[in-house]
Amino acid sequence: MTSTSPKYIFIVDDDPMLTESLSDYLTRDIAHRVRTFSTGEECLQHLDEHPDVIILDYHLNSVQREAANGMEILSQLKKAAPSAHVIMLSSQEHYGVAMKTIIKGAEQYVIKDEDSYTKIDKMIAEM
């Protein structure tokens, strides 16, 4: 699925293989601009670039233990960039975790699986 207009997308995940493959997937058919970050702090420093969509990993601090986790970054994003659409990406399949992220401001919650890229692409097309 492709959206009608290109979006500026931030991908925030500490897994470099995931960020690269998701970036490639989202730019394959249309000219989305994608920027990737391995920590939420890096993402926060670049909000002046006004991303349309931020794909945020729930578990962010596996590379840098002192880095904030996805929920902490989500709270800061909603204050600093309230118009950005946030999609929380996680391996957590617990309903409670998903609901907590939605309550805190994520618009969507996607479980990392074989269909997650397709789901994200469809969500972006609707934003």
Q: Mean pLDDT, to the nearest integer, of 101-118?
A: 96
In whole angstroms, give the CA distance from residue 121 to residue 106: 16
Beta strand extents in 81-123 (DSSP E only) = 85-90, 108-111
SS3 label, residue 95:
helix
Q: What is the pLDDT of residue 4?
A: 64
For residue 2, pLDDT over 50 is answered with no
- Quick check: 9 and 33 in contact, CB under 8 A? yes
- Six token digits for residue 3: 């959206």
In whole angstroms, give the CA distance from residue 58 to residue 104: 12
User: Does some domain include residue 50?
Assistant: yes
In whole angstroms, give the CA distance from residue 88 to residue 107: 8
User: Does some domain include residue 1?
Assistant: no
Q: Please report, for the domain that includes residue 65, its CATH number.
A: 3.40.50.2300
Q: What is the pLDDT of residues 18-56, one digit of tens each?
A: 999 999 999 998 889 999 999 999 999 999 999 999 999
Q: Which amino acid is at 104?
A: K
DSSP character at residue 90: E
User: Does some domain include residue 96?
Assistant: yes
User: Does some domain include residue 57?
Assistant: yes
User: Does some domain include residue 2?
Assistant: no
Domain that residue 34 falls in: 8-125
Backbone angles phi and psi of 94, in degrees to 5:
-85, 130
In whole angstroms, give the CA distance from residue 47 to residue 71: 17
